[in-house]
Chains A and B, each alone.
Chain A
Amino acid sequence: MIEFRSVTKRFPDGTVAVADFDMVMPSRKITVLVGSSGSGKTTILRMINRMVDPTSGSVEIDGQSVRELEPVRLRRSIGYVMQNSGLLPHRKVVDNIATVPLLRGEKRATARDRALELMDTVGLDRSLADRYPAQLSGGQQQRVGVARGLAVDPNILLMDEPFGAVDPLVRAELQQELLHLQKGLDKTVVFVTHDIDEAFLLGDKVVIFKTGGVVAQVGAPTEILSNPADEFVASFVGADRGKRALHIERTSAGEVVVDGDGRAAGVMVPEAGGGA
């Protein structure tokens, strides 16, 4: 469990990125921080592995303040996946995945074997092991990034817009695989995105930010959609328009569910496994 207690971050230039932030990010769940740029979501993520230290307040992992932990050791115990994968361009795929185990002093052969297993886990062909990152597609690079994040089998996985730079088709595929992986791995995931669809798809708990690190609403996707806290949230999640504002139209052929643009979105069916 990751807990933020009245955390504020003021940068030297006076910008307040995060203001008096309280939050519990539950263990073995995916917490998604979503908001437009400048909402402080990335700053919050970076306070967990001490890439940023709060101006006031505390961040705790399982009851221990991260301030008491040595940053380099702390970072080696937390998986980190970022946009554009952040891979080391001068290391082969397999060495990139093995980076952190090697930093922790693991034997080269063991780390390499484990890296190859992780390539299977994230759906990368082992024949790519000896390529350099620049020789891979964007989607493949992100998979390597995820594999590297998992290499030390961390309890916590931080993901900073990991799928932001890949095309929509590959993104959808990576999102599904992350959900599939999470079922088997049960990591405490903190995921940052500006894409509300991605947030609702992946998040057990979704935190919506306004600018300046102010929380607009926290809850499960269903709670937020069914009961937006205010107009900002309603408009941000698109509950008032487009493909989220659904209504039933009765036609001569029967009932059809139609979205805000008037396009047929589906039909009403009895709940699977339910009914009389």
Chain B
Amino acid sequence: MTWLFANGDEVWQLTLSHIALSIAPIVLGFLISIPVGWVANRYRASRGTLLSVSGILYAIPSLPLFFMLPSLLGTTILDPLNVSFGLTIYALALMVRTTADALDSVSTDVTFNATAVGFSALRRFWSVELPLAGPVLLAGLRVVSVSTVSLVTVGSLLGVPSLGFLFIDGYQRYNPPEIIVGIVVTVVIALVFDALIVLAGRALMPWNRGADVSRARRAAARAVSAS
């Protein structure tokens, strides 16, 4: 605590830059995954390839990726863009499969009926399939959000400021309070992001509240009857 009070300004600055670095990959990963997931879901032949390729992206080690990106993007090594770009790749790796599954989870009865009453394919996608895929998309987005907030710390090894700096600095100077502050604040950011996403989901999917409750109740009933 003494350490935190003495260095409050620095921690606050690092927190802000940590948040700034996290937002773009989460938003971009989500947005880009929609057309890619749509293609994977719509054209069955492409599904296997697209999902494998996006899955493999996640296997690229982050540190070498961050070091490679400047030569690929033409940025300087200290450019925060490297971190944002790299993390967008990881976000996509997680999100593409979820989006394909989310679109696949929409009941074919509902899409059939929407077509039968006169929805065009495009209109049906935006106003029927995407909203109904919402609950699964939301679950995927929560994973991406937590993963991104934690991965941003790696960027500090390149000199891009984030809460990860507190880990490195604290380790080098053998200063445990500094490391603990870094961890705690990172976790707090992840929790706040998660809460914001859940709240946004509730606001955007009001029809889902009742369903959530009844699904939870059914799960509870199964658990009880199994015991």
Contacts and interface: CB of A to CB of B under 8 A. Distances in A.
A132 B113 CA distance: 17
A103 B205 contact: no
Most buried by A among B112, B115, B208: B115
A84 interface: yes
A59 interface: no
A100 B118 contact: yes
A82 B113 contact: yes
Contact of B116 (A82, A89, A132, A135): A82
B210 A135 contact: yes
Interface in B77-133: 109-110, 112-120, 123, 128, 131-132
B211 interface: yes
B110 A88 contact: yes
B207 interface: yes
B116 A134 contact: no
Given A103-B123, A134-B210, A90 B205 contact: yes
A88 B131 CA distance: 10
Given A103-B123, A132-B210, A134-B210, A90 B116 contact: no
Contacts of A104: 118
B115 A84 contact: no
Given A72-B120, A86-B109, A90-B131, A51 B211 contact: no
B117 A76 contact: yes
A75 B115 CA distance: 8
A75 B116 contact: yes
A49 interface: yes
A54 to B, nearest CB: 17
B224 to A, nearest CB: 23
Interface string B202-222: 000101101100100000000
B100 to A, nearest CB: 20
A160 to B, nearest CB: 9
A163 interface: no
A100 B117 contact: yes
Interface in A77-117: 80, 82, 84, 86-91, 99-100, 103-104
Contacts, number: 57
A205 interface: no
Contact of A148 (B117, B205, B211): B117
Contacts of A90: 128, 131-132, 134, 205, 207-208
Contacts of A82: 113, 116
Contacts of B120: 72
Given A75-B118, A76-B118, A103-B119, A86 B113 contact: yes
Nearest to A72: B120
Nearest to A84: B109
A78 to B, nearest CB: 8
Contact of A89 (B112, B117, B207): B207
Contacts of A103: 117-119, 123
Contact of A86 (B110, B134, B208, B210): B110
A88 B128 contact: yes
Interface string A221-232: 000000000000
Interface string A111-139: 00000000000000000000010110000
A91 B112 CA distance: 16
Most buried by A among B112, B116, B123: B116
Interface in A19-76: 46, 49, 51, 72-73, 75-76
B109 A99 contact: no
A199 to B, nearest CB: 22
A131 to B, nearest CB: 10
Most buried by B among A76, A103, A104: A103
Contacts of A84: 109
A136 to B, nearest CB: 11
Given A88-B110, A132-B207, 8 more contacts: A49-B116, A51-B115, A90-B131, A90-B208, A91-B207, A99-B117, A104-B118, A134-B210
Interface of B: 109-110, 112-120, 123, 128, 131-132, 134, 205, 207-208, 210-211, 214
CB-CB nearest 4 A-B residue pairs: A86-B113, A76-B118, A75-B118, A90-B207
27 contacts: A46-B116, A72-B118, A72-B119, A75-B115, A75-B118, A76-B117, A80-B113, A86-B109, A86-B112, A86-B113, A86-B116, A87-B113, A88-B110, A89-B110, A90-B128, A90-B132, A90-B205, A90-B207, A90-B208, A91-B207, A100-B118, A104-B118, A134-B207, A134-B210, A134-B211, A135-B210, A148-B117
